[in-house]
């Protein structure tokens, strides 16, 4: 676990353990305070921050950021099992899609065309 994540966990308020475990991120406020964020809530929050940053447009979403994280995780580690655990995929075939994207990009014929610069 990274240093920043450990710092965050040490600073946050008490979070209720649920049937899945202790959530890394929890809701604030009276109604859902201290409870696990729903997927819908995470999507709404992410989309809101993307809008504030001027980045929200078709194709840029919470899920596209997740896919990018999986692809970059495999690109930099080559460890499909670690990416599977990171993304919490039950089926390794789902994670294998990230390997296919990276492997196909590395074999792109355009990369092997000699180009003289200057």
User: 24-69: per-residue pLDDT in tens?
Assistant: 777 776 676 667 788 888 888 889 999 999 999 998 988 888 889 9
Of 3-12, 30-39, 84-93, the range with the lowest mean pLDDT is 30-39
Tokens of 11: 């600073």
pTM passes above 0.85: no
Higher pLDDT, 99 or 31: 99
Q: Which residue has the tokens 């999986």?
A: 70
The arithmetic mean of pLDDT across residues 89-110, rounded, is 88
Positive or negative, the CA dihedral 44, 27, 71, 99 is negative
Burial class (CB in 10 A: 0-12, 13-18, 19+), 16: exposed
Q: In the chain, which residue ranges form alpha helices assigned H by DSSP? A: 3-11, 39-52, 62-77, 80-87, 92-106
Q: Phi and psi at residue 52, in whole multiples of 5°?
A: -60, -35
CA distances from 62 to 11, 41, 57, 73 (A): 25, 11, 11, 17
């Amino acid at each position: 676990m990274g240093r920043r994540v450990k710092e965050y966990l040490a600073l946050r308020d008490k979070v209720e353990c649920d049937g899945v475990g202790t959530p890394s991120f929890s809701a604030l406020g009276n109604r859902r305070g201290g409870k696990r964020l729903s997927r819908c809530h995470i999507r709404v929050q992410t989309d809101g921050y993307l809008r504030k940053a001027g980045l929200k447009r078709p194709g840029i979403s919470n899920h596209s950021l997740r896919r990018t994280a999986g692809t970059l995780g495999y690109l930099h580690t080559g460890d499909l099992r670690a990416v599977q655990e990171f993304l919490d995929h039950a089926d390794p075939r789902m994670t294998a899609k990230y390997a296919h994207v990276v492997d196909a990009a590395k074999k792109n014929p355009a990369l092997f065309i000699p180009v003289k610069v200057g």
